[in-house]
Amino acid sequence: MNETNQTGKELKVFIASNGCDRRLLDSQKISEFFQNESHVIAPSPKDADFIFINTCAMSQTAEDTSVNLIKKYLDYDGKIVVHGCLPQIAPSRFSKEFEEKKIIKIDAKDLEGKMDELFPSFNTKFSEFPDPVALAQDQSLISKVINKFKFDEVFFLTCLSALKFKLKNPTKPLHPRVKLGAYLQIGSGCSDNCTYCAIPRAIGGMKSKAQDQVLREYARILEKGENSFIFTADNLGLYGLDIGTSLPSLLDDMHSIDTKYRKVHWTFNELHPKWLLKYKPTILNYVSNGKIKELCVPIQSGSDRILQLMKRNNKAAETQTVLEEVRKAAPALRLTTDVIIGFPTETDEEFLSTIKMIARVGFDQVMFFSYGKREGTPSADMIVNEEENRKNIIRRFKMASKLLDKERISYTFQ
């Protein structure tokens, strides 16, 4: 359908975002795409012709926020376009909540093609438009509080952990994936099958960006004077395996390009422990020489039994050992992680082993996620007393906060 059937008409577009760095890059690309065609990004949805809503459903908190975000804009006159992961990760809920509403739904993995279908008269195709290097503005903490609007103890602990984090780290964003610098998206999709995760269903399998293209983008950004880069993909470690290359090969080629520029720094958003183990020599090399200044390694659990149930394909002890090597190689490196609380059958002792691992490694920041069933995932079929598990999650987070406060390790919870 051609939604711009009035040739030459100036469109007003409002964009609302809730999601990870990859989806915020999608929102930014949409914004730049319309501005490139001399259309207007509206500061308010009131007079907008289109209202683009970027959604996330990685966790229950993210899903609830996304659903309420859509509801917030349904009464405006603009055409509602919902994209991001919510429709694919929570299809039953999305259908139940919005089946009677006039919403244009775009699957995350089909964004490029659908945008070109919606706006065929544009001079430049969305699929050929360059990827942005900056994130769209994520919602503020206050906006997220208002949109979730569910006053329970998990909600209270989420807000309290955010407040404590900001008091300790006033200049740092709450979300550890939001950084200052130029974002370099090297691929999309994920081919792993973690039993709790529905993201691969929403975004499809790994699709690496051609190495020559990444290098051209990198060189172009360097020439503009940028020296801080954030590498992002839905699964960084998978880069290149679908096109006959690898992440170490890409890094080495990039390093050879940037040697003539002033000191360049790299940040890795989400490197699965198994890829850190596989590519340890390369990662340690760039950590040791100060090139990698920040690294997120989501351990998820410190229990081998839970890791096996999650199908994470790594052992806790070997992950801890390599992380300690990384920390020793560069004490100033900012090291962050993600942890799931309350995975089905997890015990207090297993969760405590996770907290001990965090303390021994000396992470700078931990993002805790309360376990929630994602529709269609293997873990959703595991028998769980949800009310009892919710109590366990709350109790374990309180236990973790006391221990991490003593270690002076920052954390947030959702």
Predicted confidence (pLDDT) per residue in 276-298, tens digit? 999 999 999 999 999 999 999 99
pLDDT of residue 167: 76
Residue 121 CB neighbour total at 10 angstroms: 13
The Cβ of residue 320 has, within 10 Å, a number of other Cβ atoms equal to: 18
Q: What residue ranges in 109-204 does DSSP mark as E strands? A: 182-185, 187-188
Cα angle 14, 18, 20; round to 5: 125
Structure tokens at 299: 């351990």
Check residue 4 and give its pLDDT: 47
Strand partners, 295: 268, 335
Which CA distances in Å does 27 have to 17, 183, 296? 7, 14, 23
Residue 368 neighbours by CB distance under 10 Å: 24
3-state secondary structure of 335: strand
User: Do the Cβ atoms of 397 and 157 come closer than 8 Å?
Assistant: yes
Cα 129 to chain centroid distance, Å, stands at 22
Whole-model pTM: value is 0.90
Is the Cα torsion angle 14, 19, 20, 22 positive or negative in sign? negative
Q: What is the pLDDT of residue 5?
A: 40
Q: What contacts 11, CB < 8 A, 6 or more positions away?
A: 4, 34, 39, 40, 49, 50
Of 293, 366, 288, the closest CA to residue 328 belongs to 288
CB 297 within 8 A of CB 335: yes
pLDDT at position 170 is: 78
* 8 A C-beta contact, residue 82 and residue 88: no
Residue 271: both structure tokens together: 């490197």
Rounded to an integer, what distance in angstroms lies between the CA atom of residue 292 and that of residue 333?
A: 8
pLDDT value for 163: 73
Six-digit token string for 212:
């020559």
Host H or E run for residue 141: helix 141-148
Class of the 12-128 domain? alpha beta
| Cβ contacts of 238 within 8 Å, gap of 6 or more | 187, 190, 191, 192, 206, 208, 275
Bridge partners (DSSP) of residue 339 are 300, 368
Contact indicator for 230, 345 with CB cutoff of 8 Å: no
Q: Provide the CATH topology of domain 151-413.
A: pyruvate-formate lyase- activating enzyme (3.80.30)
- Residue ranges per domain, the chain? 12-128, 151-413
What is the number of alpha carbons within 13 Å of residue 359 lying toward its C-beta? 15
Confidence (pLDDT) at 138: 55
CA atoms of 352 and 111, how far apart (whole Å):
41
Segments of the chain with pLDDT less than 50: 1, 4-6, 139-143, 145, 149
Cβ–Cβ under 8 Å, residues 223 and 341: no
Q: What pLDDT shows up at residue 388? A: 94
At 179 the pLDDT is 75
Q: Residue for token digits 């209202």?
A: 51
* Res 8: pLDDT: 64
Q: Reduce the secondary structure of 98-133 to three states and give it as a string.
A: HCCCCEEECCHHHHHHHHHHHCCCCCCCHHHCCCCC
Give the pLDDT of residue 174.
Answer: 64
Res 177: pLDDT: 67
